[in-house]
Amino acid sequence: MRIRSQWLGLLLFCVTWPVFAARLNVDLGHGARSYTTAELLARPDVRTVTIPADIAFKRSMRYRALPLRVLLTDLEPTTHVQFVGADGFATEIDGRLLLKTGGAQAWLAIEDPSQPWPALERGEGHAGPFYLVWTDPSSSHIGSEQWPYQVEAIRALRAVDNRFPSIVPDATVPADSDIRHGFAAFQRTCFACHTLNGQGDVKLGPDLNIPHNPTEYLRDDLLRAFIRDPQTLRHWPQAKMHGLDKNTLPDADLDAVLAYLRYMEKHKMTP
């Protein structure tokens, strides 16, 4: 009985240890900082926030959370911030959006080891220990790609144009064109999982220009349907791609993304 108890204690320790030992690494270019779960939960500015329509859990959720801007005090507003997850997902968000004090507000939800969050649906594992959530997201058209979970690191980056020149439209493309509009929408949505012309931080999905751009082999109506709901084109229970609804990607933005993809199809660059 004593041996069984010892094994049970060891098992519980192994199960709970990753949550207790979780660290969030933050690097804004002025020296990296590392925060433990316990340190963040002990801060006096932690609040309980309610998220009525949580993206990850598809229902109302309550979290112990920290206004994200308090961890970004050294951030230049024009900087892009990248959130890197344990599952390989990475997304970039405009610093101005993260530092706002009105409208949509970014919060870092922190999983309390004594009150763990439930598992995600579709066998996608766990959202903790850190998760970027938003209050009043519709006021700034916050899309599903801007709710990264399993976050391990937050870091400031140079502009996409500087890091990945092969995805940028030529300087001759007018600033007010659908192509430029689509490039901006592409960065906010598709670029979180896909590369283009072999460039990008994440390869969860295929490259969208090499060897073939989806506009080359899908009719517009099928491509639009696939982006809205990938299961309408091919039903595959293990599929990882989530559809982009009209709140995440309004019709005008979807039209612009297709314009950008058509443009890039004529500007392939072998990585």
Instruction: Please state, as a whole number, how many other Cβ atoms lie within 10 Å of the Cβ of residue 213.
Output: 21
Overall fold of domain 161-265? Immunoglobulin-like (2.60.40)
Residue 145: which of 201, 115, 187, 200 has the closest Cα? 187
Q: What is the pLDDT of residue 212?
A: 95
Two structure tokens written together for 40: 């963040």
Assess if CATH 3.40.1160.10 describes domain 20-157: no
pLDDT surpasses 80 at 238: no
Encode pLDDT of 164-205 as tens digits: 899 999 999 999 999 999 998 998 888 878 999 999 877 878
Pairwise pLDDT comparison (33 vs 244), residue with the higher score: 33
Q: What is the pLDDT of residue 158?
A: 78
Encode pLDDT of 105-160 as tens digits: 999 999 999 899 999 876 678 899 999 999 999 888 788 888 999 999 999 987 77
The CA–CA distances, whole Å, from 129 to 19, 38, 108, 113 equal 6, 11, 10, 9
Q: What is the pLDDT of residue 251?
A: 92
pLDDT surpasses 50 at 18: no
Shared fold status for 20-157 and 161-265:
no
Q: Using an 8 Å Cβ cutoff, are 183 and 209 in contact?
A: no
Full-model pTM = 0.69
- Domain chopping of the chain, boundaries: 20-157, 161-265
* Lateral strand order in the sheet of 47-51: 47-51, 61-67, 105-110, 130-135
Please list, residue by residue across 29-38, b when 16 or more beta carbons sit within 10 angstroms of its beta carbon and e when fewer do.
Answer: eeeeeebebe
Q: Using an 8 Å Cβ cutoff, are 93 and 75 in contact?
A: no
- As a whole number, the mean pLDDT across the chain is 86
Which of 14-23, 48-57, 235-244, 259-268 bottoms out in mean pLDDT, i.e. has the lowest?
14-23
